[in-house]
Amino acid sequence: MIHNIHFAQYIPYTAMHFVTGTWTDTAGDVAGTIAKHKAANTETAVVTVPIMIPSNSIALQGSKLASIELDYECEVAAATSVTAVLHKIVRGVDGAVAVASHPTITQDLVAAVAAAAHEEHKIVVTLTTPVWIDNDEYYLCEFSFVCGAAVTVDVFGAVANFTARM
Amino acid sequence: MIHNIHASQYIPPTLFHVVSATAAITHAAGAVSGTIALALGAANETSVVTIPIMIPSNARALQGAKLVSVELDFVNATAEFTSHTFVLNKVTRGANLSVAVVAPITKTDSVAATASHAVDEVKQVVTLTVPEWVDNDCYYLLEDTIVQGGGGGTCKFLGAVANFTLRL
């Protein structure tokens, strides 16, 4: 059996979901990179990262999700806060809705302080209890950007860290 | 230990990134029924399509994925472009409060520059001169800069495939 605790998966922003705000595809500030840019406006924008890693129908096999990292930048000014929530979505059977729950996580940058500063950011969201992913479920990591009138935001990409076992 | 030198990952065009000042960018059906494409409309300008290479990485050296090559399928239609130019960039993510660092990777293209912009179906294989193990603090972006010219050329991107060695 393979059991490797150091696996990671890059998730480009083009796989992410952006709600609220005017978002556009742009070149990143560093030549050769790509970014999703939010225009300045007073609003709360929500960026959801689909965690695209393998799952498995057998317990304790496949991927055990440990943490998620998001690379972004608050430009022009500081945001009010940047807060992460992790959603576990159990897919519904035919005719039934999905069921969401919210595993306990911690974020290494404080929402209204370090995570919101006018700076480049690498925020790490860590599951208190890492989870093996069943094939009937998936995970969405949601970041709420509470923005004042001046701040703009660039989202570059994410990385999911996990154990692979097969 | 698993060590498989034949692993591949399909990257759909829905994950591609396009920056163009005026060319229309749309999801479209491919020319072959049942296929999907990202369509770039005619415009006399330079447009940039970037393909994010979504393969596993690893925090340990010599584990995870060793990127060998990237294949890009696209169709140039209506009229010949001025050029397609391919650059493979390695992006090393910045620590918190730091910017990323980009370094172009030495590679070869299977389709010559003159052929890559002709009206035709194109399968461009970009091969790294030295395949690289992907660290969890890095990722790779294949960039196609298209000088479209005034001829009215259009392009449909069908998808990409990354070829790599998987070790775990």
- Residue whose structure tokens are 């790509």: A34
Separation CA A101–CA A85 (nearest Å): 10
Q: Which tens digits make up the pLDDT trace of B56-80?
A: 999 999 999 999 999 999 999 999 9
Number of domains in chain A: 1
Residue B12, number of CB atoms within 10 A of its CB: 15
Separation CA A93–CA B99 (nearest Å): 44
A55 lies in which domain range? 3-165
ipTM over 0.90: yes
A159 contact partners, CB below 8 Å, separation of at least 6: A8, A9, A10, A11, A68, A69, B57, B93, B136, B139
| Residues A71-86 as b or e (16 or more Cβ within 10 Å = b) | bbbbbebbbbbbbbbb
Does the distance separating the beta carbons of B57 and A32 come in below 8 Å?
no
Are residues A150 and A34 in contact, defined by beta-carbon separation less than 8 angstroms?
no
Does the distance separating the beta carbons of A9 and B100 come in below 8 Å?
no
Of all residues in chain A, what percent carry a pLDDT higher than 70? 100
Supply the pTM of this predicted model.
Answer: 0.95
> Which residues 3-42 in chain A show a CB within 8 A of chain B?
4, 6-12, 14-15, 25-34
Q: For residue A123, is pLDDT > 90?
A: yes
The H or E element containing residue B3 is strand B3-11
Question: CATH number, domain at A71?
Answer: 2.60.120.260
Q: Which tens digits make up the pLDDT trace of A37-63?
A: 999 999 999 999 999 999 999 999 999
Instruction: Please tell me whether residue A13 adopts helix, strand or coil conformation.
Output: helix
What are the structure tokens assigned to B70, written together? 């990237």
Q: Which pLDDT score is estimated for B153?
A: 96
**Chain B residues touching chain A at CB-CB below 8 Å:** 1-2, 14-19, 48, 50, 52-60, 63-64, 87, 89, 91, 93-102, 104, 136, 139, 141, 143, 168
- Residue whose structure tokens are 């340990």: B60
Which of A85, A64, A49 minimizes the C-alpha distance to A2?
A64
Residue A155, number of CB atoms within 10 A of its CB: 23
How far is the CA of B83 from the CAs of B20, B46, B47, B73, B74, in angstroms?
15, 9, 11, 16, 14
Mean pLDDT of A91-98: 93
Domain boundaries, chain B: 3-167
Give the residue on B whose Cα is nearest the Cα of A163: B58
Separation CA A115–CA A118 (nearest Å): 9
Q: Which tens digits make up the pLDDT trace of B3-17?
A: 999 999 999 999 999
Instruction: Please tell me whether residue A54 adopts helix, strand or coil conformation.
Output: coil
Question: B3-167, superfamily in CATH?
Answer: Galactose-binding domain-like (2.60.120.260)
Q: Which pLDDT score is estimated for A1?
A: 87
Residue A118, number of CB atoms within 10 A of its CB: 13
Q: Which tens digits make up the pLDDT trace of B118-127?
A: 999 999 999 9
- Locate the DSSP E strands across B17-119: 17-19, 25-29, 36-40, 46-52, 56-58, 64-77, 83-92, 101-104, 107-109
